[in-house]
Amino acid sequence: MTDTAAISRDELRMQARGPSLSRREVRTAILAEAVLYVVGGLLCATALLIPHVRAPEAVAAVGVNAQMVAAALVVAARRERGGLGLAFAGDLWGVVLVGVLCAAAGGASSPFALIYLFAIGHAAGFQPRNRYIVVLIASLVAFLLPLTYENVPEMFGAVAIVGIVLAVLTTVVIHLALNGLREHRRRLKFLIDATASFDTSLDPAESLRNLARAAVPELAELCVIDLLDRNGSVASTVAAALEPEVAEDLEELRRRLPLDLDGTHPVARALASGMPCVVDDLTDELELAQAAQSDEHQRFMRGAGYRSAAVFPMIARGRTHGAISFLHVRSEARYSRGVLDVLEDLSGRAAMAFDNAQLYAERTRVAQTLRRSLMPAVLPAIPGLELASYFRPLGAGSEVGGDFYDVFGDEHSCWLVVGDVCGKGAEAAALTGFLRHTTVAYARDANSPRTVLAQVNRVMLEQDFEGRFATAILVNLRIAGGEVAVTIASAGHPAALLTRSDGAATQFGERGSLLGVFADPIIEEVSTVLQTGDSLALYTDGLIEAHAPALTVTPEQMLEQLQRRSPAGAREAIDALLGLIELDEHVRDDIAILSVHVAPATGTVAQLQRTPTALASPAVAEKLDQAEGVA
């Protein structure tokens, strides 16, 4: 199944049993029962003041037993042992003690009977409904037990009726109040968990799958999400069900028979009105006929066991993205007002999460498109030189950074530039594009990198870039025979890394002044000659600070790595530098590396499409591809 939320049957069955009570609630139930046992045991001591006590020793035994049970319950509560089942056993044992105490202290005339009827019933209020009813019936039987072994006075009947009515009313109120609090807490926890699940992914499709997982089976046995395209038609459907086959069949049916949004289907009605649409009885032939798109659809709904449905439009920031349907299948449950409020809240949160995911996806696409426009699509093939580049954007690639590089020229003279603009976002991208194209324009008619950078600095100061500055390193390569004359100028940028064919590695170039700060910047120019087998690597400070402040890569470490690896080509030089950082981990800035190697034969170009497999796992390569961060 393509978009079906993959939910195992066993997992859903486990969830359908409902959440267990909190530890605090279970502990409160046990401790409340222990208190009642203590009070009951103390009341047994008053039997000495009551005339006509048949068996004082039995009353004393009940009192001692009550204190022992209370102590055991306190210990169990402190150690969090036994759970609600222990409290249930304590309720039933209390009923037994009621019978013994009543028989020992005067039967129908015993003053303890009515008191214990209230106590046991109130303690059982913490129990689930079935257990509560069992304890209540057992308490009533114990209370009325004297009718079986003695003649009771008429007064007992009147007292019994009043006592039973009061006890049942008060315990029912307590039980319902506790259940209401549990249900409120359960719904609140569900909303919190569901909202948290939305935040686990910024992918729109994954956000929908998370919603479907969250809704089944907590609020429905089947959850269906229909998404609209820009034309207002249903573009795709995601479903999750207690029985995964039902979800798969429904998605397939939606693909073959798209919903008619002009019809009477609940989804169409909800989208048309912008309001929830609730169908209480889908077993009714008229309701089923209105919801059916075709005879096949009607047969599917009957076969799946549709019972009731609640459909909510997904509206966020004034945009309608689709509709969410919650359905009870093979269940007689109906959606109460409280549950509908929860579903409406959840639908609103889901719509906002989906809208956020779409906005993030669109922002990422824009950033990737803009970033590609700031980098060369391919590196030029220049005879005598081997070129390679690497670029990794910050994070998932949703931001446009300020790192850039470019290579341009011809077979006689070639220029390399690597730069870094302060900041992120559209403003940084604007300055990045300006620097790249301005540098290329001035370098076309120049021979000195220092002159070009000085001209770029002057133009930057003339423009309004809101105080932004940049660094850049510009290299001019003049190719003559087997030698390459190199001239480098740097404006606040890290020095180049020069590796000779014999393995010796040194820094080459001076940092100089930042671009866009000083009217008369200090930009030094240095020259050397590259022989066959020599390499030159330019990089941005993202490589140095990839894992800062925990770990910072120093120029000395880079030189040592290059000497140890002794790269035989431009690609190998980049591989060696990337070996100093962990690509599997999050990096705190863009990383750009440009490398040139003097080749013995006709020049080739090697452009990295992903991180070398020797340095990165397939998962990292996949993430880099998704971010489209390679140039």
- pLDDT class of 607 with cuts at 50, 70, 90: very low
pLDDT score recorded for residue 1: 37
DSSP sequence for 349-404: HHHHHHHHHHHHHHHHHHHHHHHHHTS-SS----TTEEEEEEEE-STTS-S--SEE
Helix axes 337-373, 154-198, angle to 10 degrees: 10
Which of 269-273, 276-280, 506-510, 603-607 shows the lowest mean pLDDT across its residues? 603-607
pLDDT score recorded for residue 467: 80
Task: Answer with the residue of higher pLDDT: 516 or 18.
Answer: 516
- pLDDT class of 212 with cuts at 50, 70, 90: confident
Topology of domain 374-541+581-627, CATH: Phosphatase 2c; domain 1 (3.60.40)
Among 89-98, 316-325, 433-442, 486-495, the range of highest mean pLDDT: 486-495
Nearest-angstrom CA–CA distance, 136 and 45: 26
Task: Put the strands of the sheet holding 505-508 in their side by side order.
Answer: 505-508, 496-499, 535-539, 591-598, 385-392, 604-605
pLDDT score recorded for residue 15: 40
Region 321-332: mean pLDDT is: 88
* Strand, helix or coil for residue 322: strand
pLDDT score recorded for residue 153: 64
606: which 2 tokens? 């090697």
Task: Answer with the residue of higher pLDDT: 344 or 449.
Answer: 449
pLDDT at 469 over 80: yes
Among 36-40, 110-114, 342-346, 474-478, the range of highest mean pLDDT: 474-478
Nearest-angstrom CA–CA distance, 530 and 586: 36
Same fold: 206-336+346-365 with 374-541+581-627: no
Region 183-195: mean pLDDT is: 70
pLDDT score recorded for residue 56: 77
pLDDT at 536 over 90: yes
pLDDT at 541 over 50: yes
- pLDDT class of 622 with cuts at 50, 70, 90: very low
pLDDT score recorded for residue 5: 37
pLDDT at 114 over 90: no
pLDDT score recorded for residue 285: 85
pLDDT score recorded for residue 338: 79
- pLDDT class of 415 with cuts at 50, 70, 90: very high
Tell me the one-letter amino acid at 27. R
pLDDT score recorded for residue 612: 32
Tell me the one-letter amino acid at 600. P
Task: Answer with the residue of higher pLDDT: 573 or 128.
Answer: 573
pLDDT at 604 over 80: no
Domain boundaries, the chain: 13-187, 206-336+346-365, 374-541+581-627
Nearest-angstrom CA–CA distance, 162 and 139: 15
pLDDT score recorded for residue 14: 36
Nearest-angstrom CA–CA distance, 581 and 626: 20
pLDDT score recorded for residue 27: 83
Nearest-angstrom CA–CA distance, 588 and 128: 53
Longest dimension (CA), the chain: 127
Among 86-95, 100-109, 220-229, 350-359, the range of highest mean pLDDT: 220-229
Per-residue pLDDT tens over the stretch 11-68: 434 343 344 566 777 888 788 878 878 887 787 777 666 666 677 778 788 888 888 9
Alpha carbon distances (Å) from 296 to 228, 249, 257, 263, 300: 23, 12, 9, 16, 6
Per-residue pLDDT tens over the stretch 284-303: 888 888 888 888 998 999 89
pLDDT at 626 over 70: no
pLDDT score recorded for residue 373: 73
Region 408-422: mean pLDDT is: 89
Which of 51-60, 182-191, 361-370, 619-628 shows the lowest mean pLDDT across its residues? 619-628
70: which 2 tokens? 């209370």
Torsion angle of alpha carbons 478, 480, 485, 486, nearest 10°?
40
pLDDT score recorded for residue 619: 37
pLDDT at 317 over 80: yes
Share of the chain above pLDDT 90, in %: 26
Task: Answer with the residue of higher pLDDT: 22 or 390.
Answer: 390
Region 187-192: mean pLDDT is: 71
Per-residue pLDDT tens over the stretch 151-171: 666 666 666 666 666 666 666
Alpha carbon distances (Å) from 173 to 125, 126, 176, 179, 261: 9, 12, 5, 10, 47
How many residues can be counted in the chain? 631
pLDDT score recorded for residue 198: 65
Helix (H) or strand (E) holding 25: helix 23-44
Alpha carbon distances (Å) from 84 to 120, 133, 176, 347: 15, 15, 17, 34
Which of 83-97, 391-405, 463-477, 513-527 shows the lowest mean pLDDT across its residues? 391-405
Task: Answer with the residue of higher pLDDT: 323 or 368.
Answer: 323
pLDDT score recorded for residue 106: 61
pLDDT score recorded for residue 232: 86
pLDDT score recorded for residue 578: 92
Q: How many helices (H) and strands (E) does the chain have?
A: 19, 16
pLDDT at 418 over 50: yes
Region 348-375: mean pLDDT is: 78
The architecture that CATH gives domain 206-336+346-365 is 2-Layer Sandwich (3.30)
Other C-beta atoms closer than 10 Å to the C-beta of 514 total 18
Other C-beta atoms closer than 10 Å to the C-beta of 457 total 24
pLDDT at 618 over 50: no
SS3 percent helix, strand, coil of the chain, rounded to 5, is 50, 20, 30
Torsion angle of alpha carbons 134, 136, 141, 144, nearest 10°?
180
The whole-chain average pLDDT of the chain stands at: 79
3-class SS letters over 561-621 = HHHHHCCCCHHHHHHHHHCCCCCCCCCCCCEEEEEEEECCCCCEECCCCCCCCCCCCHHHH
